[in-house]
Amino acid sequence: MDLNFGAAYQDFQTEVESFLAQHWPPPKGASREERAAATANFRLAATERGYLYRNVPRRYGGAEQPPNVIKAEILRRAFAKARAPMEVPGNGVALLVPTLLDCGPEWQKEQFIAPTLRGEITWCQGYSEPGAGSDLASVRSKAELVDGQWVINGHKIWTTLAYQATHMFALVRTEPEASKHEGISYLLLDMKQPGITIRRIRQISGQSEFCEVFFDGATTPADWIVGERGKGWQVSRSTLKHERNLVGGSARTQALFDSLVRFAKTTIRNGRPASEDPVVRSRLAAIEGAVKSHIYSSYHQLTKEAAGEPLGILLHLNKLSSTEIAKSIATLAQDILAEDGLHMPPAEGGAATEHPELWLNQIFGSLALSIAGGASNIQRNIISERGLDLPREQGV
Amino acid sequence: MDFDLSSEQKMLQHELSEFLTSTVDATRLVQMDTAQVEGLRATIDAELFDMGLAGILVEEAQGGLDLGLLTLAVVAEELGRHAAPSSVVRNALAAWIISSSGDEAQKARWLGDLLSGAVRAAFAVQQGDSWSPDAWASASDGAPLEKRNVEGGVDADLLIVALAGSKLGIAHGAGITRKEPRPALDTTRPVVDLAIARETVEGLQGHDGLAARLRDAHLALLAADAYGAGQRAFEMGVEYAKTRTQFDRPIGAFQAIKHQLANMALEIHPAKYLAWFAAHAWDAIPADVEHSAALAKAHVPDVAVRTARATVEAHGGIGYTWEYPLHLFLKRAMFDRVAWGGVEEHRARVAALSAW
């Protein structure tokens, strides 16, 4: 057991750190536009060096590196320490690009991947519908091939940041006669067209990142389909395991816990910092037990993955683990927040020291975490069926 | 980054698991009286001492294996998983204490016998209701030292005795008076109250921080033991859910049971790595030792007890019978939760050590 990365990786770490020291941050006082340009150039240089988009071939704008989870983790840590931007955030890079690499025809890879990596086109995920949440394969939005293009009618919901996205990848029903899972296709489409109406959903947090998307004769070219007709379900399940980020979730959980501790130490309750209340201290320590278990589990998974060994049940625990810890953090945060939490946070955000009620965003956001991307009860099904090999649910 | 057991540690774990699986029959263990448990303990120890496990923390020059606490935690975890009675962990800790803090005469007298198992050691620590080295005290006015809940104290040949000022001593022979033992919660680990004549305690040289290190080793090992017990209870729950049928299907097909087991998995699996980390820190990361030992002791037995309780619940009536051995693992975890200070005591220490 050794928590260091070992001599073999020392050179790589040094190389990354010296690259970062040279290339980041941009000069102080840069305008917003200058900063955006500097970020784009930084990403290009970092990709050139092999640090970003490591799984994407060079011809599509990636770094084309052999998978190495240890290097990936060294990069994440070094970039985080330097506060340098990593890959463009969002569904495009995280979900669509791996899917295209796995299942897309050559022309789609050439046309879509590079601008997605540069952040020039942005993607939203058209999956959930009012009648298709956890039971995603029940999607009813349909597309018909008419005069050489798909004509789409239907209704998507919980589409994150649909109002910002230039494009959508969507699961739609194209084979109405086929069975539930065999009748779905995976289509790409342009969001900026008359057949699409977006309604932003006001969430319990007061924010509106999630949207409803209505298709009313929206269109997309016949060849903007990924994989074959009727194979959309399998395409959407394609999971490229390239440098799976096994530690990222637990690192974010640790960072969230660290902010809770800071919050407890800086918030005065009953004439003293909340962190001096024995009950608060005990609750913090109880949460820390779960946080550290989660982190060390991720270290173990990283070790296993690097050695090419299966992760077993641990992999299935990660999402629910983050969610449950976020829930216990939210519960304690509300008690520390106390009556400051009777006011909604300023919409424009700001510093949590000035606006402690910003913790409400975490308090409500932790609920979104338990629903989005596979609800917690679905996670429990996955853990028990795939992890523990218990009988599968009837008819699912 | 290598956060896994070494191949040697995995091999040891495998060997222990095979040996204990073939030696400890939990359904018979629940029916054993004190003498029979003692017989099983002797059978187990014969093998474990023969493997040299009592020398895990002792340097090679003194006849040990010098493998570190993580390796001993692997032993503790397997013992917990099988609810196995054994003195090997106590002897390993005592051998480490004598080898690192005894004088030449003490080493010559005790070390070889501790390593071979010819002598069995116990730790006489708890005074009043406290296990903390800060509260260790000497008896005044020549009264005997009253030590409570000494695991293995019923028939130990050598006591490592906690003394005032976080010092340690050793006692043996006629100076020790054993109180009448009461029936044990965990029949595999009976405890007894002792009175030790103050003048018969020999001091150990010791060194600064030895008491804290001894405490932290115990905390990490109790966490590992608790993980083993909790994990075994959990596995019994999963197995039972697959085989027990009600309403014409295995109860594991019902979402209520599946989700209950998923929630247990969520807590018990990662707890192992917290116990590992505490042991590893003891070996290799001095700055993290106290905090990680306290955190592991606060968290892992808490999770193990919750898991074992939930497993009894998921079993239904059979889990509540003495005959069905699930309670062995519940009680093992309950013991681990209480010994060397409870959950809240160690959470308070975590908070203090973190400077919250």
Residues B283-308: what's their mean pLDDT?
97
ipTM score here? 0.96
What is the structure's pLDDT at A8?
81
Query: How far apart are alpha carbons A226 and A180 in whole angstroms?
Result: 18
Q: Which of A1, A278, A285 sits opposite B350 (nearest CB)?
A: A285
Closest approach of chain A CAs to the CA of B106, in angstroms? Answer: 33
Q: Cβ of B298 and A289 within 8 Å?
A: yes
CATH 3.40.50.920 for domain A123-237:
no
Mark whether B108 and B165 lie in a shared domain: no
The CATH code of the domain that includes B331 is 1.20.140.10
Residue A374, pLDDT > 90, answer no
Q: For A69-79, how does the pLDDT look when each residue is reduced to its tens digit (9 = 90+)?
A: 889 999 999 99
Mark whether B228 and B342 lie in a shared domain: yes
Q: For B91-137, how does the pLDDT look when each residue is reduced to its tens digit (9 = 90+)?
A: 999 999 999 999 999 999 999 999 999 999 999 999 888 898 888 87
What is the structure's pLDDT at A241?
58
Q: Cβ of A388 and B344 within 8 Å?
A: no
Query: How far apart are alpha carbons B103 and B110 in whole angstroms?
Result: 11
Long-range contacts: B238-241, Cβ < 8 Å, 24+? B238/A388, B238/A390, B240/B314, B240/B315, B240/B318, B241/A390, B241/B314
Q: Which of A70, A289, A304 sits opposite B299 (nearest CB)?
A: A289
Q: Which of A12, A292, A298 to mutate to test the interface with B (most CBs of B within 10 A)?
A: A292
The CATH code of the domain that includes B93 is 1.10.540.10
Mark whether B30 and B158 lie in a shared domain: no
Instruction: Look over chain A and give the mean of its residue pLDDT values, rounded to a whole number.
Output: 94
Band of pLDDT at residue A396, cut at 50, 70 and 90: low
Please say which residue of B181, B207, B233 terminates a domain: B207
Residues in chain A: 396
What is the structure's pLDDT at A395?
61
Helix ranges restricted to H, chain A? 7-23, 32-48, 69-81, 91, 97-103, 106-108, 114-117, 232-237, 248-266, 278-306, 313-337, 359-369, 376-382
Taking the whole predicted model, whether its pTM rises above 0.90 is answered as yes
Mark whether B230 and B264 lie in a shared domain: yes
| Catalytic residue check, A110 | no
A290 CB neighbours in chain B (<8 A) are 267, 270, 299
- The region of weakest confidence among A263-277, B85-99, B130-144, B213-227 is B130-144
Q: Cβ of B238 and A300 within 8 Å?
A: no
Q: Cβ of B1 and A1 within 8 Å?
A: no
Query: How far apart are alpha carbons A288 and A282 in whole angstroms?
Result: 10
What percentage of chain A has pLDDT greater than the value 70?
98
Please say which residue of B119, B135, B154 terminates a domain: B119
CATH 2.40.110.10 domain extents, chain A: 123-237
CATH 1.20.140.10 domain extents, chain A: 248-387
Q: Cβ of B2 and A70 within 8 Å?
A: no
Mark whether B10 and B68 lie in a shared domain: yes
Residues A32-54: what's their mean pLDDT?
95
For residues B141, B142, B144, B146, the Cα torsion angle rounded to the nearest 10 degrees is 30
Residue B147, pLDDT > 70, answer yes
Question: A73, A87, A129, A243: which one is catalytic?
Answer: A243
Fold classification of A248-387 (topology level):
Butyryl-CoA Dehydrogenase, subunit A; domain 3 (1.20.140)
Mark whether B105 and B125 lie in a shared domain: no
Return the number of other C-beta atoms located less than 10 Å from residue A41's C-beta: 12
Tokens of A64: 């084309």
Mark whether B232 and B349 lie in a shared domain: yes
Residue A240, pLDDT > 60, answer no
Q: Which of A2, A296, A380 sits opposite B259 (nearest CB)?
A: A380
Residues A165-179: what's their mean pLDDT?
97
Q: Residue B296: give the domain boundaries.
A: 210-353
Band of pLDDT at residue A134, cut at 50, 70 and 90: confident
Q: For B309-328, how does the pLDDT look when each residue is reduced to its tens digit (9 = 90+)?
A: 999 999 999 999 999 999 99
Residue A241 contacts residue A68 (beta carbons within 8 Å): no
Total domain count for chain B?
3
Please say which residue of B119, B139, B166 terminates a domain: B119
Band of pLDDT at residue A238, cut at 50, 70 and 90: confident
Mark whether B258 and B132 lie in a shared domain: no
